Amino acid sequence: MIRLSAGEWTAEVRPELGGAVTALRKGGRDVLRPTPDGASDPLETACFPLTPYANRIANGRFVFDGREVVIPTLPVFAPHALHGDGWLKAWSVERAAPDRVVLTLAGGGDASWPWSYEARQAISLVDEGLEIVLQITNVSGEVMPAGLGLHPYFPRPAGTRLSAVTTGVWTGPDIVPDRLAPPAEVADWIGQEVDAAAASVTLIDNAYEGWNGVAELADPDGVTQVSADVDRLHVYAPPGQDFCCLEPVSHRPDAFNQERPGRGGYRLLGPGETLSLSMKVSRAQGA
């Protein structure tokens, strides 16, 4: 485990556990959901990287450049593939300092993803909080479809409210949505600032377009702010749990099965080209 500190902030990172952040605290208070002692599943961590794609690929398959690509699926997410393979692998430490660590991963080129890629995470603490810059570079000899995301888990105490500005939400009959609708059409926190307790009885798993890059979780003790340099936000809050996820992502769910690149946000990377995504997490205490 790598421990970082800067000002009031501390963080813990486990490169071997999917390159995940396993704790983030300000003044000793958890800003991200802490990872249980002895955890071996990245889904139990505080934040993990999504690469070379984010969210779901329907039925673990898509067609690219005339060939069918089949992606392995985990039993817990079957029949869909979810979040790429970067979060399932050990990352290497490129360099570390008291307030910063840079992790790298050589991925793909195997059954999990046919194109070889290199991923890089720069995880830093500054006076304002946590900063993560995630990058993926195509190191194969052909064009590669690509996407990125980050998956932070936030505590959701009673009275938590979510605020964000978006222009649309993907919806449909399944967890792989097929239609872009006005945000008000989907029951969620966004735009309505619904109290978390009222939203805890049903699954929230919604992908938003036209995000202005800032979201805030307000609870009785203060406000946590998430900001990113992408215009898509995925909101996940399972029923009966005391956490929620605000995931900055570069593309919509199942983007690789859309008609053309860019429509759902995924990118085409030529050999040597890089895609980046950055996220900041800050916390202001209440009065």
Report whether the peptide linkage leading into residue 79 is cis, meaning its omega lies within 30 degrees of zero. Answer: yes
Which comes out higher in pLDDT, residue 158 or 168?
168
Question: How far apart, in whole angstroms, are the C-alpha atoms of residue 127 and residue 213?
Answer: 20
User: What pLDDT does residue 187 have?
Assistant: 64
- Whether the per-residue pLDDT at 54 is higher than 80: the answer is yes
For residue 250, give the nearest of 275, 217, 273 by alpha carbon: 275
User: What pLDDT does residue 174 have?
Assistant: 74
> How much is the mean pLDDT over the chain?
91
User: What pLDDT does residue 94 have?
Assistant: 97
Strand segments, DSSP code E, in 77-221 are 81-82, 92-97, 100-107, 117-126, 129-138, 144-146, 149-155, 161-164, 168-171, 179-181, 204-209, 214-219
Our CA angle for 136, 149, 15, nearest 5°, is 70
Q: How crowded is the C-beta side of 257, counted as CA atoms within 13 Å?
A: 19
For residue 151, give the nearest of 240, 69, 96, 88 by alpha carbon: 88
User: What pLDDT does residue 143 have?
Assistant: 96
Question: Per-residue confidence at 188, pLDDT binned at 50, 70, 90?
Answer: low
Q: Structure tokens of 149?
A: 């995301």
- Whether the per-residue pLDDT at 23 is higher than 90: the answer is yes
Question: How far apart, in whole angstroms, are the C-alpha atoms of residue 227 and residue 212?
Answer: 9
For residue 133, give the nearest of 115, 119, 117, 113 by alpha carbon: 119
Which comes out higher in pLDDT, residue 268 or 112?
268
Question: How far apart, in whole angstroms, are the C-alpha atoms of residue 219 and residue 105?
Answer: 36
Question: How far apart, in whole angstroms, are the C-alpha atoms of residue 279 and residue 79?
Answer: 30
Q: Structure tokens of 59?
A: 């039925």
Question: How far apart, in whole angstroms, are the C-alpha atoms of residue 277 and residue 76?
Answer: 27
User: What pLDDT does residue 226 have?
Assistant: 98
- Whether the per-residue pLDDT at 92 is higher than 70: the answer is yes
User: What pLDDT does residue 63 have?
Assistant: 93
| This prediction's pTM | 0.94
What's the DSSP call for residue 36? P
User: What pLDDT does residue 111 have?
Assistant: 84
- List, in order of start, the domains of the chain with CATH numbers: 2-285 (2.70.98.10)
pLDDT tens, 238-286?
888 889 999 999 999 999 998 665 567 889 999 999 999 999 999 998 6
Long-range contact set of residues 30-38: C-beta below 8 Å, sequence gap at least 24:
30/155, 31/129, 31/130, 31/154, 31/155, 31/224, 31/281, 31/283, 32/130, 32/152, 32/153, 32/154, 32/155, 32/281, 33/153, 33/154, 33/155, 33/243
Question: How far apart, in whole angstroms, are the C-alpha atoms of residue 270 and residue 162?
Answer: 38
User: What pLDDT does residue 192 have?
Assistant: 47
